[in-house]
Amino acid sequence: MARASMFRAFVAVFWSFLGIRKDSEYQTDITQLSFGQIVVAGVICTLLFIASLVGVVYLVTH
Amino acid sequence: MEATQGHAHDDHHDHAPQGFGHYFTTTNHKDIGSLYLWFSMIMFFVGGFMALVIRAELFQPGIQIVNPDVFNQLTTIHALVMIFGAVMPGFVGFANWQIPLMVGASDMAFARMNNWSFWLMPPAAILLVGSFLVPGGAAGSGWTLYPPLSVQGGMSVDMTILAVHIMGASSIMGSINIITTILNMRAPGMTLMRMPMFVWTWLITAYLLIAVMPVLAGAVTMLLTDRHFGTHFFNAAGGGDPTMFMHIFWFFGHPEVYIMILPAFGIISHIIPTFARKPLFGYASMVYATASIALLSFIVWGHHMFTVGMPAAGNLFFMYATMLIAVPTGVKVFNWIATMWKGSMTFETPMLFAVGFVSLFTIGGFSGLVCAITPVDITIHNTYYVVAHFHYVLFSGAIYSIMGGAYFWLPKWTGHMYDEKLGKVHFWLTTIFFNLTFFPQHFLGLAGMPRRIPDYAPQFTEFNQISSIGAFGLGISQLLFLYVVIKCIRGGVKAPAKPWEGAEGLEWTVPSPAPYHTFETPPSFH
The domain ranges of chain B are 25-236
Which residues from A are below 8 Å from B299, CB to CB? 50, 53
Residues 289-308 of B with CB under 8 A from A: 289, 291-292, 295, 299
**Residue to test with chain B: of A1, A18, A33, A54, most B Cβ within 10 A:** A18
Looking at CA atoms only, how far is residue A35 from chain B in angstroms?
Answer: 9
CB contact under 8 A, A42 and B295: yes
Mean pLDDT of B106-134: 96
pLDDT digits (tens, 9 = 90+) for B316-353: 999 999 999 898 889 899 999 999 999 999 999 999 99
Q: Which residues contact B452 (CB under 8 A, 6 or more apart)?
A: B71, B72, B75, B142, B382
β-partners of residue B383 are B450
Q: Which residues contact A9 (CB under 8 A, 6 or more apart)?
A: A33, A37, A38, A40, A41
Q: How far apart are CA A11 and CA B78, in angstroms?
A: 45
B432 CA to centre of own chain: 21
Q: Is A16's Cβ below 8 Å from some Cβ in B?
A: yes
Looking at CA atoms only, how far is residue B256 from chain A in angstroms?
Answer: 19
Q: How far apart are CA B82 and CA B256, in angstroms?
A: 13
| Contact by Cβ (8 Å): B319, B233 | no
| Confidence grade of residue A2 (pLDDT, cut at 50, 70, 90) | low
Q: How far apart are CA B142 and CA B164, in angstroms?
A: 14
**β-strands B3-4, B524-525 pairing:** antiparallel
Q: What is the reported pLDDT for B4?
A: 47
Mean pLDDT of B97-116: 96
CATH number of B25-236: 1.20.210.10
Amino acid symbol at B135: P
Using alpha carbons, select from B204, B111, B119 the residue that is nearest to residue B166: B119
pLDDT digits (tens, 9 = 90+) for B405-436: 999 999 999 999 999 999 999 999 999 999 99
Q: Is B288's Cβ below 8 Å from some Cβ in A?
A: yes
| Contact by Cβ (8 Å): B151, B172 | no
Model confidence at B25: pLDDT above 60: yes
Which residues from B are below 8 Å from A53, CB to CB? 299, 317, 320-321
pTM: 0.93
CB contact under 8 A, B299 and A50: yes
Q: Is B235's Cβ below 8 Å from some Cβ in A?
A: no
B474 CA to centre of own chain: 18
Read off the DSSP letter of residue B10: G
CB contact under 8 A, B284 and A19: no
CB contact under 8 A, B288 and A15: yes
CA angle (B46, B473, B55) in 5-degree steps: 60
| Confidence grade of residue B2 (pLDDT, cut at 50, 70, 90) | very low
Q: Is B134's Cβ below 8 Å from some Cβ in A?
A: no
Burial class (CB in 10 A: 0-12, 13-18, 19+), B82: buried
Q: What is the CA radius of gyration of chain A?
A: 14
**Residue to test with chain B: of A44, A57, A59, A60, most B Cβ within 10 A:** A57
Q: Is A22's Cβ below 8 Å from some Cβ in B?
A: no
Task: Find the helix packing angle between B283-296 and B262-276, rounded to 10°.
Answer: 160
Looking at CA atoms only, how far is residue A6 from chain B in angstroms?
Answer: 18
| Contact by Cβ (8 Å): B507, B433 | no
pLDDT digits (tens, 9 = 90+) for A16-37: 877 777 888 888 887 888 888 8
Using alpha carbons, select from B341, B312, B304 the residue that is nearest to residue B146: B304
Of A22-26, B145-149, B342-346, B363-367, minimum mean pLDDT range: A22-26
Among chain A residues, the shortest Cα distance to B316 is held by A57
Read off the DSSP letter of residue B450: B
Which residues from B are below 8 Å from A56, CB to CB? 316, 320
Where exactly are the structural domains of chain A? 6-61
Residue A46 is nearest to which of B295, B317, B332, comparing CB atoms?
Answer: B295
Q: What is the reported pLDDT for B9?
A: 45
Looking at CA atoms only, how far is residue A41 from chain B in angstroms?
Answer: 13
pLDDT digits (tens, 9 = 90+) for B214-272: 999 999 999 999 999 999 999 999 999 999 999 999 999 999 999 999 999 999 999 99
CB contact under 8 A, B299 and A18: no
**Alpha helical stretches, state H, B299-373:** 312-324, 326-340, 349-372
Q: What is the reported pLDDT for B12?
A: 47
Looking at CA atoms only, how far is residue B289 from chain A in angstroms?
Answer: 5
Q: Is A28's Cβ below 8 Å from some Cβ in B?
A: no
Q: How far apart are CA B430 and CA B266, in angstroms?
A: 22
The residues of B annotated with a catalytic role in the active site are: 78, 107, 143, 170-171, 254, 256, 258, 269, 303-304, 329, 332, 451
Q: What is the reported pLDDT for B14?
A: 60
Model confidence at B167: pLDDT above 80: yes
Residue B327 is nearest to which of A19, A26, A60, comparing CB atoms?
Answer: A19
Which residues from A are below 8 Å from B317, CB to CB? 53-54, 57
Q: Is B192's Cβ below 8 Å from some Cβ in A?
A: yes
Q: What is the reported pLDDT for A3?
A: 66
ipTM of the complex: 0.83
Q: Is B191's Cβ below 8 Å from some Cβ in A?
A: yes
